[in-house]
Amino acid sequence: MEHFGVVPGAINTVIAVSIGGVVPLLLKRFKQDPAAVSGALLTTITDMAGFFLVLSFATLIKPLLLCDSTSA
């Protein structure tokens, strides 16, 4: 059970790497300075995705973590 935190962490890393590569390219295409904007934008999106992933994953595994005391 102690390895369940690896799954949302790995997914969040993939999202961060993908967004980290795409956001500067999009900003450059729209004639914006990627260095000025992408840091804050990337941090915000990555934090939101990580928070969502951890809570979603916790909801999915919650039934596995809770024991039914009447069945013992």
Domain borders along the chain are 6-62
Residue 27 vs residue 67, higher pLDDT: 27
Return the DSSP state at 26. H
Q: Is residue 10 very low, low, confident or very high in pLDDT (cuts 50, 70, 90)?
A: confident
1 near 65, Cβ under 8 Å? yes
Residue 70 has pLDDT above 70, yes or no: no
Q: How far is it, in rounded angstroms, from Cα 34 to Cα 72?
A: 59
This prediction's pTM: 0.65
Over range 31-54, report the average pLDDT.
86
